[in-house]
Amino acid sequence: MAQKLLEVDGVGKRFGGFVALENIDLAVTQGERVGLIGPNGSGKSTLVNCLCGTLTNETGNVRFDGLNMNGLTAHQRTRLGMARSFQLPRPFASLSIADNIRVPLLYTVNARAGTHLSSHQIDERCQEFLRLVSLDGKAQKFPRDLSQVEMRKLELARAMAAEPKLLIADEAMAGLSHVEVDDIVALLIRLNERGITVILIEHIMRAVMNFSQRLIVLVSGRKIADGSPDDVIRDPEVERAYLGQ
Amino acid sequence: MHSGIFLIISAAVGAAVYALAAWFANDYIFFAGYTVLQFIVLATAWNILGGYTGYVNFGSAAFFAIGAYSSVFFHKFYPLPIPVLIIISGAVAGIVGLGTGYLTLRLRGAFFAIATLALAVVLQTLVVNWDYVGGSRGAYIIRPREVAIIGNYIQYLFLIMLALCVIALTSARAIERSRLGYGFATIRDDELAAEASGVPTLKLKLIATTLSGAFMGMAGAPFPYYIGYLEPASAFGLQYAVNSIAMPMIGGTTSWVGPLIGAILLGTLQQVATVTISSAVNLLIVGVLLVAFVIIAPKGIVGLFKDHFGKKS
């Protein structure tokens, strides 16, 4: 059996009296493509924030690549190989597109032991990642010059530039057209083929079904289903959560 | 351009400025020029934190006064040459910057600005009640008339401040183009995204407050020798806090050129106004210009220039 890359064990998070996450257990295997779905407010983004260190989970453990993540800051987790994209793109507005990619190269890749890229190599890598998301023509432009879909691609390219083992894409496709969604799904599958484990958080079921090898469903801060996509969407409890009863 | 080459060029420009001032053979040029140079250092220092990382510091006067009062303290305790005092003042102000940063950098936006303002009030109260450095009475510094090699003492002070300008500008420019500069820019743009890209934001913000504080302290170190009599109200003067913010804002905050342009422009204007109108009109000019720039050209003169010539900022 393949190695577990991410193990979430009993993770819980409250905001005051509101229980955002309750006793979440899940595991993700190296190289897997996992979809994480759930209605609005079910705790998907809170879970991502707890995984990435933006929020601190009150109970439970997150283990990544064999290491306990509790107490580590967001940038430390990024350096260990956990990258994320944000639900709403958060580009560095005053930096050019190429420089947006340069930041994770300077601060994550170059901060890892045993790697040091020269400025020439960094330039090349920037170009490479921009080509990957077909933004290489806009390297010297600024985030304000990009369209929605290009902004999403920049978001993914920036996460990729940190050379992660695990990529968490938080609603990378919200608000995009049919064709654009296919475009991003194809991109994520390409990244996965490079050996990167991907967790996709998404509302667009067509994208999730095309992408995921396994589906996890959160409802009201609890995990209610975890299994192959076809089984999960036929699960009566999932149907109830989505369609109401 | 490599930082070493930039240092040589700016040192050459500095030498030319000194030669020009000396050519006038008028002490007043040095006297007024010193103030302008001092504001270049202050504005550049403020910009390292305020412009590069986006954290607005209202307490510049506190760091400036730390530098000035370090000099007063050592003048009484054990007189040292000014360049040594500058290094000591820089270290003291840098440490205070680090400490302030550690306590306040979890605060964002307006809250950080208020905290820095409070720092200035707290420090002023401390100095007012500290007899050794003169307390509320102030302290007299009898400066020598002459200094070896250079001769005239005001020329010596001018030269020191000129050197400090060259160092501050070279450092600011080097930071801007380095890994640190990119890190600072990401903090200014989006701290959450910066962390997600591996940028250790707290550490970088502490580096920025330390550097910024240190340069402000250095700018203040020769001040007691320049003014001859230092009292808390002048060391903690409103003009330092206001000018340190206004000059980079008017010049442009994203590059080292902005504070330089802003300080030369506003500093000179204030000196001219002091002589021709009155010294009280200074802050009025700064205030009006600041409001005008914030409304008309929020990116400052550098921003206007870049927009005009179509170059992207």
Please compute the mean of the pLDDT values over residues A177-189 and round it to a whole number. 89
Q: Do B199 and A107 touch (CB under 8 A)?
A: yes
pLDDT, residue A245, reads: 55
Give the pLDDT confidence score for residue B313 in this predicted structure.
Answer: 42
In angstroms, the CA B53 to CA B190 distance is 10
For residues B60 and B43, give the distance between their C-alpha atoms in angstroms, rounded to a whole number: 9
Partner residue opposite B198 with nearest CB, options A54, A79, A96 = A79
CB-based contact (8 Å) between A153 and chain B?
Answer: no
Contact indicator for B172, B256 with CB cutoff of 8 Å: yes
Structure confidence at residue B265 (pLDDT): 92
Q: Tell me what ipTM this predicted complex has.
A: 0.89
B84-106 average pLDDT score: 91
**Tens digit of each residue's pLDDT (9 = 90 or more) over A71-107:** 899 999 999 999 999 988 999 999 999 999 999 999 9
Among chain B residues, the shortest Cα distance to A89 is held by: B193
Average pLDDT over residues A206-229: 91
**Mean of pLDDT values over A14-26:** 90
**pLDDT-derived band of residue B312, with 50, 70 and 90 as boundaries?**
very low
Interatomic CA distance for residues A115 and A221, integer angstroms: 39
Q: Which of B5, B6, B4 is nearest to B256 (CA)?
A: B6
Over residues A139-173, the pLDDT tens digits come to: 999 999 999 889 999 999 999 999 999 999 998 88
pTM, to two decimals: 0.90
- Comparing A54-63, B23-32, B56-65, B210-219, the range with the smallest average pLDDT is B23-32
In chain A, what residues touch B188 (CB-CB under 8 Å)? 94
CB-based contact, A107 to chain B, within 8 Å:
yes
Minimum CA–CA partner of B179 in chain A: A106
* Residue-range domain boundaries for chain A: 4-90+163-243
User: CA angle at residue B104 from B101 to B109, to 5 degrees?
Assistant: 110
Q: Do β-strands A222-227 and A214-219 pair in parallel, antiparallel, or remain unpaired?
A: antiparallel
Lowest mean pLDDT among A10-24, A110-124, B242-256: A110-124
pLDDT of residue B184 exceeding 90: yes
Residues B153-170: tens digit of each pLDDT: 888 999 999 999 999 999
Domain A4-90+163-243, CATH class in plain words:
alpha beta
Whether residues B185 and A92 touch (CB distance < 8 A) is answered with yes
Confidence at B85, pLDDT banded by 50, 70, 90: very high
Q: What is the pLDDT of residue B63?
A: 96
Measured over the CA atoms of residue A193, residue A196, residue A197 and residue A200, the dihedral's sign is negative
Question: Is A106 close to B189, i.e. CB distance below 8 A?
Answer: no
Please give the pLDDT value at position A244: 66
C-alpha distance from B92 to closest chain A C-alpha (Å) = 30
Which one-letter amino acid corresponds to residue B197?
S
Q: Which of A2-11, A141-150, B179-188, B278-287 has the lowest mean pLDDT?
A: B278-287
Neighbouring residues of B254: CB distance < 8 A, sequence distance ≥ 6: A94, B51, B52, B299, B302, B303, B313
Q: Which residues of B touch A (CB under 8 A)?
A: 179, 182-183, 185-186, 188-190, 192-201, 254, 312-313
pLDDT of residue B212: 96
pLDDT(B311) > 70: no
Measured CA to CA, the distance from residue A173 to residue A158 in angstroms comes to 16
Instruction: Please name the member of B182, B192, B196 whose beta carbon is closest to the beta carbon of A102.
Output: B182
Q: How many CB pairs under 8 A join A and B?
A: 86
